Amino acid sequence: MTIAESEEALDVLRHSASHLLAHAVLDLFPGTQTGIGPAVENGFYYDFLREQPFTLEDLAAIEQKMNEFSQRNIPIERMVIPKEEAIRLFKDKGQQLKVELVQEKAGEEVSCYKQDSFIDFCLGPHVPSTGHIKHFKLLSVSGAYWKGDEKGLQLQRIYGTAFYNKKDIDDYLLLLEEAKKRDHRKLGQELDLFSFNENLGPGLILWHPKGGAVRKVIEDYWQEAHLKDGYGLLYTPHIAKLDVWRTSGHTEFYDAMYPPIYGDGVEYELKPMNCPFHIMVYKSRQRSYRELPLRWAELGTVYRFERSGVLHGLMRARGFTQDDAHIFCRPDQLEEEIQRVILLAIRVLKTFGFNEYDIFLSTRPEKHAGKIEDWDKATHALEKALNNEKLDFQVDKGEGVFYGPKIDIKIKDALRRSWQCTTIQLDFNLAERFDITYVGEDGQFHRPFLIHRALLGSLERFFGVLIEQYKGNFPLWLAPVQVVILPIADRHNNYAEKLDGIFREEGIRSFVDLRREKVGYKIREAENQQIPLILIVGDREVERQTISLRVHTKGDIGEVSLNDFLEKIKELIKNKSLSVNF
């Protein structure tokens, strides 16, 4: 990889492109105030304060102006000036937001970058001149809040991307077009899987029958996999006394909780997490070292007040169901338990078709809960478990959360995008706060290791990932409707309904399309709904008690006996096959 292709170099290029964007906006729309303009994953953005909303035509004009500045190859120069001078400079330019930033964040000397008349408060670094910024594209505009405060100023955020060569940006724009086609929000509506309703409130998901069918399949498989791996299943309430969340530290450290609910003079709280409930089950009686490890799993629905600006379909919601689990184990069991979770995670993810992933091990940050020796033991156990399975991983030094080290597994989807799913997290904080213990072989009280663990993350988010992974064309075992039966004429309806009854008895998700439409039309509808198996029945099929089979995306297979069809489809579903071969 060349320097120009490195992530660090791309960040510099994209941050420079954000300045080029701001320069163009100020040139075209004088009086606009500029906020911040960082490089982000796959691109950059800049925030602006302006009364008039930016239009698509404005974006095209801004991009054209950016191209003009690029062709002029304007030098980009760093300036270091006294703080008071910087404040005066931005006041004179009418940039009050920059004045605020300098007053709040700058030291005695202020780093600024200048290109022609445009000056920005910035630490840098930047490319040497605007001529280095050649391959860029403005993508969209959305709302944003100044400093992330929903009560603050409403800004406009323009997003863009930039690369060092034309091929890379062309490839990325093609990927974006494909991502639009796969957008789970679009497909969710087209395939009648789920919806939102503003009358209920943003970020609250309504699962439709088809989406509910897929969810049940996921849940059934998840429960089966956990029971086989020695987990017990828990079911816990949706609210708890606020004191529980004070003990856990959520009221102090977690800012996504809903306001308390009052009942009988007591404050209750919608649960943002399942952990305290599982700990309460552990504490329901004294535990012995002989009982450990205890593995408990729950599909627990939680509620978090995410800001409206970050809500994104199934991927970021206010109510969602976590595939949560907690493992309580002795120190001598820790390594084996971690390894066991890793194997379960990889097995489950592969079953859903995810065979590529990146693994990250995050270690102790400077500020942390728990004893250093416990951190060292836990980190060593995580590392050894990964090495035992010969798994490649990256160490994120100091990036663990304050309460323990963790392993994150990020899957790669069909577009090579990364999605955070599996997390294996040690927790020294809650174990201490709730004073959980077990009686050891020596008769003394000891503190168990507490492992938080999620495999899929949340059902909602994982479903969104599945929709985009398969573009709505789910594998047969996951498909909301596995078989549609299309009678050619009314006289074939009885046979079609008989087949439907047989399939349903076998647990196959089927339905009969009895609409008085031409069969060609009904086939197109079934293909559009991405139903894996389409069965056409007419006079010949009724007479021979057979079916004519069509496989989605593959076309007509021909006449098949009912017994052969049943045997094959049951085998495909049982094996959770990712493709259909008849």
CATH classification at residue 526: 3.40.50.800
421: annotated active-site residue: no
* Same domain for 97 and 31: yes
21 belongs to a structural domain: yes
* Same domain for 488 and 372: no
DSSP single-letter state for residue 404? B
Q: Which structure tokens are listed for 274? A: 């399942």
Among 286, 278, 282, smallest CA distance to 438 is for: 286
How does DSSP assign 149-163, residue by residue?
Answer: -TTS-EEEEEEEEEE
* Same domain for 291 and 428: yes
447: annotated active-site residue: no
User: What are the tens digits of pLDDT across the range 392-416?
Assistant: 988 888 777 777 888 999 999 999 8
The pLDDT, as a whole number, for residue 582 is 79
Residue 89: CB atoms within 10 A of its CB come to: 19
What confidence category does residue 118 fall into, taking pLDDT thresholds of 50, 70 and 90? very high
CATH of the domain at 336: 3.30.930.10
Task: Say which residue the tokens 């828990």 belong to.
Answer: 234
* Same domain for 497 and 438: no
Burial of 264 (0-12, 13-18, 19+ CB in 10 A): exposed
254 belongs to a structural domain: no
Is 340 within 8 Å of 348 (Cβ atoms)?
no
Q: Which structure tokens are listed for 420? A: 């955070």
Among 367, 29, 146, smallest CA distance to 21 is for: 29
- Residue 305 CA to chain centroid, in angstroms? 17
580 belongs to a structural domain: no
Mean predicted lDDT score pLDDT of the chain:
92
Residue 169: CB atoms within 10 A of its CB come to: 17
When mean pLDDT is compared over 144-148, 258-262, 321-325, the highest value belongs to 321-325
Of these residues, 322, 333, 425, 469, which one is catalytic?
A: 322
Of these residues, 324, 408, 500, 513, which one is catalytic?
A: 324
403 belongs to a structural domain: yes
Of these residues, 250, 452, 509, 550, which one is catalytic?
A: 452
Does residue 309 carry a pLDDT above 90?
A: no
Does residue 362 carry a pLDDT above 90?
A: no
Q: Is 125 helix (H, G, I), strand (E, B) or coil?
A: coil
Q: Which structure tokens are listed for 265? A: 């003079």
242 belongs to a structural domain: no
Of these residues, 112, 122, 275, 329, which one is catalytic?
A: 275
**CA–CA distance, 216 with 212 (Å, rounded to integer):** 6
482: annotated active-site residue: no
* Same domain for 363 and 504: no
* Same domain for 427 and 348: yes
User: What are the tens digits of pLDDT across the range 41-72?
Assistant: 889 999 999 999 999 999 999 999 999 999 99
Identify the domain boundary among 470, 503, 526. 470
The pLDDT, as a whole number, for residue 5 is 59
**CA–CA distance, 507 with 568 (Å, rounded to integer):** 14
The pLDDT, as a whole number, for residue 6 is 78
Identify the domain boundary among 415, 448, 470. 470
B/e letters for 488-499, b = 16+ CB within 10 Å, e = fewer, are: beeebeebbebb
263 belongs to a structural domain: no
H helices within 156-241, ranges in order? 166-182, 184-190, 209-228
* Same domain for 203 and 112: no
112: annotated active-site residue: no
When mean pLDDT is compared over 20-24, 142-146, 198-202, 578-582, the highest value belongs to 20-24
Calculate helix-pair angle for 166-182, 459-470, nearest 10 degrees: 120
* Same domain for 327 and 221: yes
Residue with the larger pLDDT of the pair 429 and 227: 227
CATH of the domain at 121: 3.30.980.10
* Same domain for 113 and 15: yes
User: What are the tens digits of pLDDT across the range 448-502?
Assistant: 999 999 999 999 999 999 999 999 999 999 999 999 999 999 999 999 999 999 9
Q: Any long-range contacts for 22-30 (C-beta under 8 Å, 24+ apart)?
A: 22/46, 22/48, 22/118, 22/120, 23/66, 23/69, 23/115, 23/116, 23/118, 24/62, 24/63, 24/65, 24/66, 24/69, 25/62, 25/158, 26/118, 27/65, 27/118, 28/58, 28/61, 28/62, 28/65, 29/58
Domain that holds residue 357: 190-237+275-470
**For the chain, what percentages of helix, strand and coil (3-state, to nearest 5) are there?**
40, 25, 30
Q: How many domains does the chain have?
A: 3
Q: What are phi and psi of 312, to 5 degrees?
A: -150, 85
Is 296 within 8 Å of 180 (Cβ atoms)?
no
- Residue 565: how many CA atoms within 13 Å on its side-chain side? 23
Of these residues, 326, 330, 368, 550, which one is catalytic?
A: 326
The pLDDT, as a whole number, for residue 3 is 45
Element (H, E) at 430: helix 429-433
* Same domain for 339 and 224: yes
304: annotated active-site residue: yes
The pLDDT, as a whole number, for residue 2 is 46
184: annotated active-site residue: no
Q: Is 443 left (phi over 0), alpha (psi -120 to 50) or beta?
A: left
DSSP single-letter state for residue 54? P
* Same domain for 431 and 513: no
* Same domain for 209 and 288: yes
At residue 559's C-alpha, the angle toward residues 558 and 563, to 5°, is 130
β-sheet bridge partners, residue 325: 297, 453
264 belongs to a structural domain: no
Predicted TM-score (pTM) above 0.85:
yes
220: annotated active-site residue: no
233 belongs to a structural domain: yes
Q: Is 234 helix (H, G, I), strand (E, B) or coil?
A: coil
Identify the domain boundary among 412, 445, 470. 470
Is 467 within 8 Å of 182 (Cβ atoms)?
yes
Of these residues, 157, 271, 406, 492, which one is catalytic?
A: 406
Among 436, 448, 450, 454, smallest CA distance to 247 is for: 436
